Amino acid sequence: MISASKWIAGALVVALTSLAHADDADSRRDDDSFLLLRDAVRQDDAAKADFYAARLPNYSIPSYVDYYRLKSRLKDVPQSEIRDFFKRYDGQAIVDRLRNDWLLDLGRKRDWATFDEQYPLFVLNDDTQVKCYALTARALKGQKVADEARALLTAPSVYGEPCAGLIATLYQNGQFNTEDLYAQLRLSGEYNATGQARRIVALLDGPEKKAVQAVDLPTVAVAKGMGPSKVEHQIYIVAIGRLAKTSVKLATLALNKALPKMTPQEQQQGWAAIALQSSYTLAPETTDYWKRSNGAPLSIDQAQWKARIALRNGDWRLVENTIRAMPAALRGEPTWVYWLGRALMARDGVTSQPTGEALQLFRSISDQSNYYGQLALEETGKLITIPTAGAPISQAEIVPIAANPNFQRALKFFSMRLRFEGTREWNWGLRGLSEREHLAAAEFARQNNILDRMVNTSERTRIQVDYTQRFPSPHNDVMHPATQTLGLDKAWVYGLIRQESRFIMDAQSHAGASGLMQVMPSTGRWIAKKIGLTDFAQEMLSDVRTNILLGTNYLNMVLGNMDGSQVLATAAYNAGPGRLRTWRATLTKPMDSTVFIESIPYVETRTYVKNVMSNATYYAALFEGRPQSLKARLGNVAPKGYTEAEEQETSFVPR
C-alpha cells in the first residue's frame, strides 16, 4: 500500500506541475496579446490597441503596455499622462523612446516651448527628424545654424516634413541661399526623393511638375528639353543624373546637346551627375566624366566615388586632392584617413615604411580593431595579433548583470523573437558600465546564447579585451569536419558567419535567407541536390548541421568558381556570382584587392567583404596562435583566366 505521506507528496507534485503548466499557458497567452497590441499600434488602430492593452493588467513588462497605450493616441493625449509615464518609468529605455515620439509630435504642433524643455532630456538623440526640429527651433530664435544644418542634411530619403521645414525656415530667414537649395535639389535626384525635389522647387518658385518628372520620368523630362530659368537648368541636371542611372549613353547625349545653354558650373554639375552613375558600372569612360566635372561642388557620394575611380586608375595625386577636398567629417572617417596615407606614400614613392604625415595618419587609426585599423597597423610595420586577455569573468561579476532590469527585459524580448526591442533594452543597460562590467555583460549574453549581444558588447571595450567573446566559434564540432573535408579555411568561414548572422541560428533576412550562413531556400535545394541530400526540406535550413553542411558546400563551389580568391568569393556569396563576374570583367590586369574592394559598387557588399576579411584575420590569429597579415590574406585579384606568367609581368601599384 502507498503510505498517506507518499500519496500527499505525490499529489502536491502533480498539483504544482499543473500550476506551472497553467502559469506557462497564461504567460504565452499574455505574450500573444502583447504581440497583437504591438501590431495594432503599428497599424495605427487605437481601438484594437486599447482592447489588447486591457487584457494585460499584470504583464511582466508593464512599461511597454503603457507605452503602446499612449503611442496609439499620442496626438490627443494630455501632456499630464505623458509626464506621468516619464515619472513612473524614469530611467528606462522606453521613456527615451516615448520622448522621441513626443518630440516629433511637439515639432509638428510647433510647441517650441515644450520641445525646448524636453529636447535636452532626449538621451540617445539619434533621430534625424528630431534634430531638424531642434535646429528649426533655434533658427526661429535667431540663432545661426546653417553650418550644422548643411552637415545634417545629407540624405533626403529620411528628411520627412521636419527637415523639409528646416530647409524652408533657413531659406526664408536668409541662412540658406539659392545655391544651398540647388545642392539639396541635386541631392534629391541622387536619392530618388521626389517629394523633397518638389518642395525645393516650390521654395524657388519653379515648376514643381517638372521637378517631379525629372525624378520619376527622366526620359520624358530630358526629351522636353531644358527650360530658360536657372532653377529649370538645375531640374534638368537632376533629370540627366536620373537618366544616367538607366543609360549613361543617353544621358551623355542629352547633356552634350544642352551644354551650349549652360554655364560652366552647370556643365560641371551635369558631368558630375553622370560620373556618379557611371562609377557604379566601373566603365572606363567614367574617368573622363570625372575630369569634365572638375570644379563642381560634389555631394558626399560623388566625392567618394571620384576618389574610388582615381584609386582604380592609380592616380594617387587625384586621390589625395579629392580626399583633402572632402568635408572634414567625411575626411576624418577611417576609410579616407587610410587612403590619404596610401596616396601620400605613392606620391612620395614609398613602398615600405611610411614617414611624416602618412605615418601620422596610419597611427591615428591603427588602434581600431576594424578593417582600416588592421591595414593601417600593417603599414606601420606591425602584424595583427590577439591582445592578452585579463582575468576571467567570475560568476560573482555576472550576478549584478543578471539582476539588472534592463537585461531582464532584453532576455524576455529575445525569447519572444523581438530583437529590436531586446537590443534596445540591452544597449540601454550597458550605459554607464565599466569595461569590466561590459565583459561581464558579454559573458551573461554567452550564458544565455545571445551571441550577437556578446560580440557587440565585448567590442565596446578598449583597454580590457576578450577576443574569445568578440570572435566566438560555436558549433565547432560541426564546423571543423565540414571545413576539413572540403579543404576550406575555417577562419574565413567563421569570419563570414560572424558577418552574416552574428551566430543567431534563427536569423532570417528580408530576402528569405536562413540560419547561421544565411542560405537562401533555392540555393539550399540546389546544393542539397548537388551533394545528394535527398530528404531536404526548407525547414532544415534552421538546423545547425544542415545549415553548415549546405553553406560550406556552397561557399566551396563559389570559391572554386572564383579561382580560389577569398575576396572574390566573399563578394559573390553576398551579391551573387553573376554580379561578381560583371565587376571582375572590368579588370584588365591584376589589381590590389584593397582597391578592388573599395570600388565594389554595392555599399552592402563593399562593407560585407571588408568585415568578413577582417574577421577572418582575427579568427586565424586565434586559431593558429600567431600574428597574421590582412594584406597577405587579401592579396590581389585578377581577371578570369589571367595566367601566373602574365601576373608576374604586371607592375603593381606601389604599396
How confident is the model over 189-238, as pLDDT tens digits? 999 999 999 999 999 999 999 999 999 999 999 999 999 999 999 999 99
pLDDT at 10 exceeding the cut of 90? no
Measured CA distances, 295 to 267, 329, 628 (Å): 10, 21, 43
- What topology does CATH give the domain 476-649? Lysozyme (1.10.530)
Note the pLDDT of residue 642.
77
Query: Does residue 149 contact residue 166 with C-beta atoms inside 8 Å?
Result: yes
pLDDT of 512: 83
280 phi and psi, to 5 degrees? Answer: -65, -20
Number of residues assigned to the chain: 655
CA 260, 265, 271 angle in degrees (round to 5)?
75
Write the DSSP assignment of 350-393 as a string of letters: --SS--HHHHHHHHHHTTS-SHHHHHHHHHTT--B-PPPP-SPP
| Domains in the chain: boundaries | 28-72, 74-171, 177-297, 316-382, 395-465, 476-649
Q: Is 441 exposed, middle or buried (0-12, 13-18, 19+ CB in 10 A)?
A: buried
CATH class of the domain at 395-465: mainly alpha
What amino acid is encoded at 187 in this protein? L
pLDDT at 645 (0 to 100): 47
User: Quick one: pLDDT at residue 566?
Assistant: 98
The candidate with the shortest Cα–Cα distance to 164, out of 209, 121, 194, is 194
Q: Are 222 and 239 in contact (CB under 8 A)?
A: yes
Condensed to tens digits (0 to 9), the pLDDT of residues 99-145 reads 999 999 999 999 999 999 999 999 999 999 999 999 999 999 999 99
Question: How many angstroms separate the CA atoms of 331 and 487, rounded?
Answer: 41
Q: Chain centroid to CA 295: how far? A: 31
Question: What digits encode the pLDDT tens for the residues 324-370?
Answer: 999 999 999 999 999 999 999 998 888 778 999 999 999 999 999 99
Percent of the chain at pLDDT above 70? 95
514: cell is 536562413
What does the alpha-carbon distance between residue 564 and residue 561 come to, in Å, rounded to a whole number?
7
Q: How far is CA 460 from CA 301, 367, 439, 479, in A?
A: 29, 13, 9, 28
Active site residues: 500
Provide the grid cell at 574: 553576398
Residue 276 CA to residue 241 CA, distance in Å, equals: 8
Sequence-distant (≥ 6) Cβ neighbours of residue 400 within 8 angstroms: 440
Q: What is the pLDDT of residue 648?
A: 47
Q: Which three cell numbers stand for residue 615?
A: 574577421
Count of alpha carbons within 13 Å of 305, Cβ hemisphere only?
27
The per-residue pLDDT for range 409-468, each reduced to its tens digit, is: 999 999 999 999 999 999 999 999 999 999 999 999 999 999 999 999 999 999 999 999
> According to the model, what pLDDT value does residue 17 have?
47
* 476-649 has the same fold as 395-465: no
Instruction: Please determine, for residue 278, whether its predicted confidence score (pLDDT) is greater than 70.
Output: yes
* Whether 279 contacts 305, CB under 8 Å: yes
Q: What span, in angstroms and rounded, lies between the C-alpha atoms of 202 and 522?
A: 48
CA angle 236, 237, 243 (to 5 degrees): 85
DSSP 651: P
Could you give the CA distance from residue 497 to residue 491 in angstroms, rounded to a whole number? 10
Helix (H, G, I), strand (E, B), or coil: what is residue 324?
helix
240-263 residue pLDDT tens: 999 999 999 999 999 999 999 999
CA 269 to chain centre: 29
Write down the residue that cell numbers 582604380 correspond to.
312
Rounded to whole angstroms, the Cα distance separating 46 from 27 reads: 24
Query: What's the pLDDT tens digit per position in 30-45?
Result: 999 999 999 999 999 9
**CA-closest candidate to residue 40, choices 85, 57, 32:** 32
